[in-house]
Amino acid sequence: MGIFDKFRKGLEKSRSAVLGRLAGVFKASRLDETVYEEMEEALLASDVGVETSLWMVERVRKLAREKKVTSPEDLPACLKQAMEEALESADPSMNMAQDGPTIVMVVGVNGAGKTTSIGKLAYHYRQQGKKVLLAAGDTFRAAAIEQLVSWGERAGVEVVRHQQGADPAAVIFDGIAAAKSRKYDIVLCDTAGRLHNKAHLMAELAKVSKVASQALPGAPHEVLLVVDGTTGQNALTQTQMFSQVAPLTGIIVTKLDGTAKGGVVLPIVREYGLPVKWVGLGEQLDDMEPFSAESFASALCDV
């Protein structure tokens, strides 16, 4: 099964859920205002959000006029194009260090799936023959370190850890130091889940990021925000607030194997220009795929 197929299959549920509504829209006999209204509602119901939904409907309307579309049957192509446009600024490739280890920090709110995503990323890079190190920077939540260690065992990679309650910045520092001296290719740094409106926790994150850059110039090379695919419009606030304390470089959207449509990806990319880099599609080691705007759009729009 190719990457594309898997991505598509994972989104199957999301796809049918959106399509269930959209298919009805596209089957209407005449192209009139109700079709657009229904489309707007279907987008809203997929967490695309008010602003981007309105933008998208306008865009489709314009495209339909340009292409002289008269039947609703031809709308899916326009919608797909609008989605791709919304996502086009997103470059999903990972920024790797020129030489020395690449430092990847993974941040997000509680329960978004940070530790699981790190486990999968570790496996992904391990498969590519990279030397991977994990840093257990979630020193707050009970048993978070054990959870990462057990992912490390599954993926077959080493874990740098301190005690629960230790300074997360110190763990990351040690991880980077170990990676430098032992010639690792990639360090994946876990951090504790934190709600973005907790000022002191966000300050802590800023410190971790600063310490990383002091430990290795140019680090962190990637700061990935993990967003739960079932999250609604709050994901936008999360993006905004996290990018204020750490230089976000991309998004990991998790749990898209459920019925959630992950539509919130669209406003994040369109309004913040932040690329989605990975998509989580399950609990197994290999349930992580690079994001592709093309397949995301066509998975949602192809009838």
Taking CB under 8 A as the binding criterion, the range among 63-71, 174-182, 215-223, 228-236 that sits at the site for other proteins is 228-236
Binding of other proteins by 45 (CB under 8 A):
yes
Binding of other proteins by 16 (CB under 8 A):
no
**Using CB under 8 A, which residues numbered 113 to 132 contact other proteins?**
113
Binding of other proteins by 260 (CB under 8 A):
yes
Binding of other proteins by 257 (CB under 8 A):
yes
Our CB check for other proteins shows the closer of 46 and 295 to be 46
Structure tokens at 260: 């959630």
Binding of other proteins by 50 (CB under 8 A):
yes
Helix (H, G, I), strand (E, B) or coil at 216: coil
Binding of other proteins by 200 (CB under 8 A):
yes
The only residue of 3, 195, 206, 303 in contact with other proteins, by rule CB under 8 A: 195
Note whether 180 and 100 are within 8 A (CB): yes
d(CA 153, CA 187): 16
Site residue total, other proteins (CB under 8 A): 49
Minimum distance of other proteins from residue 40's CB (angstroms): 10
Binding of other proteins by 270 (CB under 8 A):
no
Helix (H, G, I), strand (E, B) or coil at 95: coil
Residues linked to residue 253 through DSSP beta bridges, in sequence order: 227, 279
Q: Which residues of 219-235 are buried (b: 16+ CB within 10 A; e: fewer)?
A: bbbbbbbbbbbbbeeeb
Our CB check for other proteins shows the closer of 13 and 131 to be 13
Binding of other proteins by 73 (CB under 8 A):
no
Helix (H, G, I), strand (E, B) or coil at 157: coil
Structure tokens at 303: 């009838």
Residues linked to residue 117 through DSSP beta bridges, in sequence order: none
Binding of other proteins by 245 (CB under 8 A):
no
The only residue of 234, 243, 271, 272 in contact with other proteins, by rule CB under 8 A: 234
Q: Which residue has the tokens 């999250």?
A: 231
Minimum distance of other proteins from residue 143's CB (angstroms): 4
Cα–Cα nearest to 117, from 13, 213, 225 = 225
Binding of other proteins by 112 (CB under 8 A):
yes
Cα–Cα nearest to 141, from 120, 107, 171, 165 = 165
Convert residues 274-293 into a mask of x (bound to other proteins by CB under 8 A) and - (unbound). ---------x----------
Phi, psi torsion values for 282, nearest 5 degrees: 155, -175
The only residue of 4, 9, 41, 69 in contact with other proteins, by rule CB under 8 A: 41
Taking CB under 8 A as the binding criterion, the range among 23-31, 73-81, 215-223, 232-240 that sits at the site for other proteins is 232-240
d(CA 132, CA 155): 10
Minimum distance of other proteins from residue 34's CB (angstroms): 15
d(CA 148, CA 116): 8
Binding of other proteins by 259 (CB under 8 A):
yes
Note whether 287 and 8 are within 8 A (CB): no
Note whether 225 and 239 are within 8 A (CB): yes
Binding of other proteins by 165 (CB under 8 A):
no
List residues near other proteins by CB under 8 A.
13, 17, 41, 44-47, 49-50, 109-113, 140-144, 146-147, 149-151, 154, 164, 195-200, 228, 230-235, 237, 255, 257-261, 263-264, 283
